[in-house]
Amino acid sequence: MSILSTDRMTENDVVSLTAAYVKADGWTVHRALTVHQKGVDIFAERAGTLLYAEAKGAVNSRTGKQIDTYGASHSALMQASSIRTRDHEARVAIVLPDVELYRFHMNSISRVLEAARIEVWLMHAGGSIRTIIEATEPVRWAQPPLPTRPIT
């Protein structure tokens, strides 16, 4: 695969590079889907730990046009949240090209992602990944007092 600029990565590029990255890190990749296939983009396993990753690209695989990063971020968040709801123990990650708008969207919801233990990985053109949101223990937020009357 030729090295391409981060802002030109398609979802297929991100999936392929992520699968290679996690495989090199000792994971067994069971599934790495293209945009034409349905399901979680990447499913891998290492030492009994499952990894599910939802990938998005910077450009459309068919047209080469820039993607709506807000819509793609929302889609990735919904998919990752659905996975987290079904599997409380697995590692769940959203993998995105390291472009400014994706960084902005993910940082704007970082507390929610941390609380849900959803990691965010930023993919660089050469295939390296930088984690900007790590999965740690769930955040314990203080319980607000219950309202005494309906909120209007």
Domain boundaries, given as residue ranges, for the chain: 6-133
- Look at residue 135 in the predicted model and tell me its pLDDT: 76
Where do the H-state alpha helices sit in 39-134?
A: 69-86, 100-108, 110-115
Task: Please report the pLDDT score of residue 1 as a whole number.
Answer: 45
What residue ranges of the chain have pLDDT lower than 70?
1-3, 136-152
The CATH class of 6-133 is: alpha beta
What is the length of the chain?
152
* Predicted pLDDT at 145: 52
pTM of the model: 0.86
Q: Which of 101, 94, 95 is nearest to 124 (CA)?
A: 95
